[in-house]
A = this chain, B = another copy of it.
Amino acid sequence: MGDMLTTPTVIVDEQILDRNIAAMARVMADKGIALRPHVKTHKIVEIARKQVDAGAAGLTVATIGEAEVFAAAGFDDLFIAYPLWLTRSSAARLVAVAQTARIRFGVDSVDGVRNAGARLGDAVRSFEVLIEVDSGHHRTGVHPDDVGEIALAAIDAGFAVAGVFTFPGHSYGTDQAVPAARGEAKTLRKASRSLVEVGARKHVRSGGSTPSALDADGTSLTEARPGVYVFGDAQQWELGRIEPSDIALTVLATVVSRDDGPVGRRVVLDSGSKVLGADRPDYASGFGRLIDHPQARIVALSEHHATVEFPSDATLPVRGSRIRVVPNHVCTVLNLVDEVAVVRGGLVVDTWPVAARGRNN
């Protein structure tokens, strides 16, 4: 496959992808949790179809732009898991998307839900909102005690309140998945009681991230929204949540420069931050990993260069070699390319467009 493709390029192994999709569907079915995968990870219609075919209850998106792309592709149940601040123009776009899909979106303040109601006008009754709660990630979301007040404001504005949601993003840390899943469950149960108090009896309790999903509590969550699990990435690998053999997406790169001299035993690949993304959490060993050279480390990354150091006993790849890189955070990679090469058994069998690439507003 290597010679046909111009590097750097993104490759998806369809057999591993299918296996990952089936495995998460099975885990969630066993727990009795509805799976609503987050498609911001892949932004690819063909992959969303596989997820729904495997039993996903609907899709999660991050933006109205992503909702537009997936609604146009025929997906009719979308949750925008984000506290939208609507303007006249974004409200009009939301109303247009709701012609073909059930749209739920997030709110995390009385101001936000009142503004949304005012912007949507008569169309407000077509929409359901979920109230975001903070389960320890301290980004968006309110304390569970504040859920009742926002729910009442939402009802007052004309919305149906569909439930509560949280993102346990602090699961992305060494040994944090289990405590984050526990905090998620506790927070959602508390938030849920606040909803019951204001009369919203039957409702969704939505949580989930890829690291915490396997430990998600099926009695506390009714729905989970993992995204990264379809591909895996170096973060999940280094957090110990997946094996390298579960990684479905790599960036094919070429060795363009090589130094076996005094500065270090290193090569430079043509896969820089403009294809790998620049995310580098504290726990990461570098700016991505080499799947066939697990001992090597990407010690520096610029826009078109990845500098890779090899241990002293390893054979340094020659110039012109092709090497597969596992990005640290795969969600950023799919936002950088217009298409991916699909391989089965090492052969390129298809090209999928990244339909929602750049649709970030």
Q: Would you call A233 an interface residue if the criterion is a C-beta within 8 Å of the partner chain's C-beta atoms?
A: no
Report the stretch among A14-22, A181-189, A251-259 that lies at the interface: A251-259
A270 and B85 form a contact (CB under 8 A): yes
Selecting from A109-117, A197-205, A237-245, the interface stretch reads: A109-117
Q: From known contacts A83-B257, A360-B274, A360-B275, infer whether A139 and B109 are also in contact, taking CB-CB under 8 Å.
A: no
Instruction: State the main secondary structure of chain A at its contact with B.
Output: loop
List residues of chain B with CB within 8 A of the CB of A4. 89
List B contacts of A305 (CB < 8 A): 139-140
Cβ–Cβ < 8 Å partners of A320 in chain B: 85, 111, 115
Q: A301: shortest Cβ distance to chain B, in Å?
A: 9
Q: Any chain B CB within 8 A of the CB of A149? A: no
Interface string of A28-51 (1 = CB under 8 A from B): 000000000000100000000000
Give Cα A100–Cα B279 distance, bound, in whole angstroms: 38
Q: Is the CB of B304 within 8 A of A360?
A: yes
Q: How far is the CA of A277 from the CA of B335 in the complex (A)?
A: 11
Q: A12 to nearest B CB, angstroms?
A: 17
Q: If the complex has contacts A63-B304, A140-B256, are A111 and B319 also in contact, measured as CB distance less than 8 A? A: yes
CB distance from A234 to the nearest CB of B (A): 14
Q: Chain B residues near A128 (CB, 8 Å)?
A: none
- Asked whether, in the complex, the Cβ of A300 is within 8 Å of the Cβ of B358, the reply is no
Interchain nearest-CB distance for A357 vs B (Å): 8
CB distance from A335 to the nearest CB of B (A): 5
0/1 string, A250-292, CB within 8 A of B gives 1: 0000111110000100001010111101111000000000000
6 contacts between A and B (CB under 8 A): A6-B90, A62-B303, A109-B257, A115-B319, A139-B268, A139-B305
6 A-B pairs with least C-beta separation:
A278-B278, A140-B257, A274-B360, A85-B256, A111-B319, A6-B361
A interface list, Cβ under 8 A from B: 3-4, 6-9, 40, 62-63, 82-85, 87-90, 108-109, 111-112, 115, 138-141, 169, 254-258, 263, 268, 270, 272-275, 277-280, 300, 302-305, 307, 318-320, 331-332, 335-338, 357-358, 360-361
